[in-house]
Structure formats: structure tokens, C-alpha cells
């Protein structure tokens, strides 16, 4: 496991390293950073499997590291002396929030949980790669939507629409399921690659097979078969109207 320790205190980094070495990983690679700048450079150079992150750093704080990351799917455990930032940390999808001084049992349990998640995601990535090859041969069939807990194999025609949520995408399905996945809407627009899926808005990709009505207005709204109303941006309005007129 490749772990990046981000802490401005050398002694704290040393303590964390000793605890990790005590856990006796089969393969352990440790990197250190003491600032927002050095952490960002290390992450850009090579994506770590796990980040152990302090709040207060030499040139800023740990949240700046997360905001500037090119990757959005790296598990993060906060290790800090500041209890008051816990809520904000979990808004950044932190796996855990440990307070200094660190207790080994608590630390070990948090890292092991992260390790299990990393292994699940690696398996999911391999399955996703397999499904992408499968889709090349069977272009009309399914798409694999992976979450941290499972992989949903979904018929593409069962997707009502997709909504962007930052670096995540929420899928709305015919059976009323909603699945949040950690890839961008643009990624899925490319993967789905169907002429009847229209990017009607920067934040929405719509399966036009399930659109039942277009409501006129300043930009317009598409009404879906489940009753949801999806905004159409001014830039995409002509595209949508042309598609509807040629259906």
C-alpha cells in the first residue's frame, strides 16, 4: 500500500510511520509531505492509495490539499489535534477522523478499514474494465456503476437521466433507484455514447426515450417519465428542440 503522510510536524510523521511499520503490511511504501504545496506535488507525481492528513500545515490547511487534488477517489484519514473540524472533514468524505495523541488500536482499525475499501475498489476497477470491453462487443447492453460497497450492472435503457454532483454522478433509474458514483458526468457521457442520451445542461445527461414532455419557458424544461423536471440550458435548447422535432 502506498501511503502519503501529510503533517507539518516531523515528530508526528515519525510516530505515524512507526505505527504503520508495526502493522506489518506485505507491501508498504511511505511518503511524507509537510505542506499543501509538497503534498500536492507528491499526489500529482504518483497517486497514493491512502492519505493520512493533518489539518494545520505550514502554508495552509489539509482542506486545501483536498480541494486542489486532481484525484477525487483517494481515501483520506484525518489525524489532527483539532476536534472542531470533524464535521467539515466528513463533508470532504473523510474515512476517519483521529485525534492526537494517536492510540495505536484506533489508528490500526482506521487504516485496516481503509485497506479493505481500497481492495474493494481495485476489484471494482477490474470489473469495470471487463465491463467496458464487454460493452465494446455488446454496445446496447449494460453499464457497470461501482460504489464503495457494490457494483450495479444496469441496463443502459433503464437509466432515466444522470446528474452531475461535483466530481460525482448520480444515476436515476427506471425502478426509482438512485446510485451515486465517483466519476464525472463527462466520463459517463463518453461511456454511454448513445445518440438518444442528450447533454441538455452542464449538469444533466438525459435518456430521451424517457422524456415525455418539453415545457416552454426562458430555457425550457424536460419532464421525465417519473415526473422529474430537468432544466435545459440556453446553449442546449436548440439541440433539444431539434432532437424532439426529429423523433
User: Between these two residues, 69 and 8, which has the higher pLDDT value?
Assistant: 8
pLDDT of residue 131: 61
Q: Which pLDDT value is given to residue 216? A: 87
pLDDT digits (tens, 9 = 90+) for 2-36: 999 999 999 999 999 999 999 988 889 999 999 99
pLDDT of residue 221: 94
First to last CA, the chain: 52
Domains along the sequence of the chain with CATH? 2-123 (3.40.50.2300), 140-245 (2.40.50.1020)
- Given a contact cutoff of 8 angstroms between Cβ atoms, the answer to whether 78 and 53 are in contact is yes
User: Could you tell me the pTM of the whole model?
Assistant: 0.53
**CA atoms within a 13 Å half-sphere pointing along the CA-CB vector of 92:** 25
Tens digit of each residue's pLDDT (9 = 90 or more) over 130-162: 665 555 444 557 899 998 889 999 999 999 999
Mean pLDDT of 61-68: 90
**CA neighbor of 22 nearest in space, from 99, 114, 118, 107:** 107
Amino acid at each position: 500500500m502506498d501511503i502519503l503522510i501529510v503533517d507539518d510536524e516531523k515528530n508526528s510523521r515519525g510516530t505515524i510511520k512507526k505505527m504503520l511499520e508495526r502493522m506489518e503490511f506485505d507491501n508498504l511504501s511511505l511518503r511524507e509531505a509537510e505542506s499543501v504545496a509538497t503534498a500536492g506535488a507528491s499526489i500529482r507525481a504518483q497517486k497514493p492509495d491512502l492519505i493520512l492528513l493533518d489539518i494545520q500545515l505550514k502554508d495552509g490547511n489539509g482542506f486545501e490539499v483536498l480541494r486542489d487534488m486532481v484525484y477525487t477517489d483517494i481515501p483520506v484519514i484525518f489525524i489532527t489535534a483539532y476536534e472542531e473540524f470533524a464535521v467539515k472533514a466528513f463533508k470532504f468524505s473523510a474515512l476517519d477522523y483521529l485525534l492526537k495523541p494517536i492510540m495505536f488500536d484506533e489508528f490500526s482499525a482506521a487504516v485496516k478499514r481503509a485497506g479493505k475499501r481500497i481492495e474493494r475498489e481495485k476489484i471494482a476497477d477490474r470489473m469495470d474494465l471487463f465491463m467496458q470491453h464487454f460493452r465494446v462487443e455488446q454496445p446496447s447492453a449494460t453499464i457497470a456503476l461501482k460504489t464503495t460497497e457494490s457494483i450495479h450492472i444496469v441496463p443502459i435503457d433503464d437509466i432515466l437521466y444522470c446528474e452531475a454532483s461535483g466530481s460525482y454522478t448520480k444515476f436515476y433509474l427506471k425502478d426509482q433507484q438512485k446510485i451515486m458514483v465517483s466519476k464525472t458526468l463527462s466520463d459517463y457521457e463518453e461511456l454511454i455514447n448513445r445518440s438518444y442520451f442528450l447533454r441538455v445542461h452542464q449538469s444533466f445527461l438525459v435518456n430521451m426515450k424517457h422524456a415525455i414532455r418539453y415545457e416552454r419557458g426562458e430555457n425550457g424544461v424536460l419532464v421525465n417519465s417519473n415526473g422529474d423536471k430537468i432544466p435545459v440550458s440556453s446553449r442546449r435548447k436548440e439541440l433539444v428542440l431539434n432532437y424532439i422535432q426529429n423523433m
